Structure 1
Amino acid sequence: MARFNVFATAVMPKFVKYVVSASRVVQASSLPRTLEELVNIRASQINGCGACLDMHVKEALAAGESPLRLSLVAAWRETTVFTDAERAVLALTEQATRLADSSGIDDEVWAEVAAHFDDEQLAAIVAQISLINALNRLNVITQQKGGSYDPARLAEAQAAATSGVDPTTVSV
């Protein structure tokens, strides 16, 4: 059970509205949606965020990701189903998510990512890693549970935001 209803507060709906707006910047970039979701899934696995895993596995499936690849994200190093570019991003995601466990991002990891992506895509990758880690922390701190995410609810909230309806009145 969640610690409290975060959407019954004045602060949290506004905060989430701005985070969702920031995520649209990444979605509008040339970064493939499936890669964005691999970032979300790997960071959420590391952070133990069931709510984000529920959401992003379903979003990845909707974006065309295969169930096999999704089932292997946690063991990406021991598989053959990810490209070199995806492996580089997954390595960066892990290091950026585990900042407290290291001395930052290894130059070799950064160089490998930079070899596969242009500066705009690198910016989108860094932004997405930052966003998902913020959302993971929000959900873990407040004990949001996974399992009931409905992709149609997110689409409804995003449509409300672009139509002038206050998206804080739409539950995600």
Structure 2
Amino acid sequence: MNARLNLMGNPAAMPVMKAMIGAHKALAGSSLPTSLQELVSLRASQLNGCGPCIDMHTKEAAAAGETSERLHLVAAWREATVFSDAERAALELTEHGTRLADSPDGVRDDVWQRAAEQFDEEQLTSLVMLIAMINTANRINVITRQQAGGYQAGAAAAHLASAG
């Protein structure tokens, strides 16, 4: 299977991709821990079946010090004992924010409250923005059939640093 579009070489896609890179730079500089950002991105990507993002965020999380045990258990975080209450709240919010159509309320108040108890307003805002951004990236990659498997840890940071 081949990608349907070369997004990084497409003049119509480049202004949007540049804006997304800017948003990711802002999130990377937030007070939300990097490891948590990677776990959230990985979980949303699993739910959306986005191979390139699963590839990227698994490798970035490992490079940031995440253990293989925790990475393997992200998909079963409810049953795993290796996640903190804050991580659980973030993963729950990620699932609800990714599966909006599964609930008539979108994100239920109790889910929001658990996240709000674990994160200050800046972190909670960053978490919401991260969930929205990873879902956008997932949808772009899935729609255009971007390929997974070739990502090298650190490539995104290098790309972010070189983006003007």
- Whether the TM-score (by the shorter chain) exceeds 0.5 is yes
* 1:8 shift after superposition: 2.7
* 1:6 shift after superposition: 2.1
Match of 2:59 in 1: 58
The CA RMSD over aligned residues, in Å, is: 1.1
Unaligned runs of 5+ in 2: none
Task: Please tell me the residue identity of whatever aligns with 1:108.
Answer: D
Q: Distance in 2 between matches of 1:153 and 1:33?
A: 15
Judged with a 3 Å threshold, the aligned counterparts in structure 2 of structure 1 residues 144 and 81 are, in CA distance, closer, same or farther, namely same
1:9-33 CA-partner distances (Å, limit 9, x unpaired): 2121221111011011111111000
Task: Please tell me the residue identity of whatever aligns with 1:76.
Answer: W
Match of 1:155 in 2: 157
* 1:83 shift after superposition: 0.6
Match of 1:76 in 2: 77
Match of 1:112 in 2: 114
Match of 1:170 in 2: none
Unaligned runs of 5+ in 1: 165-172
Match of 1:130 in 2: 132
- Give yes or no for contact 2:25–2:160 (8 Å, CA) kept in 1: no
Question: How many residue pairs align between the two structures?
Answer: 162
1:100-128 CA-partner distances (Å, limit 9, x unpaired): 11121111111110001100000000000
**% identity of equivalent residues:** 53
* TM-score (norm. length: structure 1): 0.90
* TM-score (norm. length: structure 2): 0.94
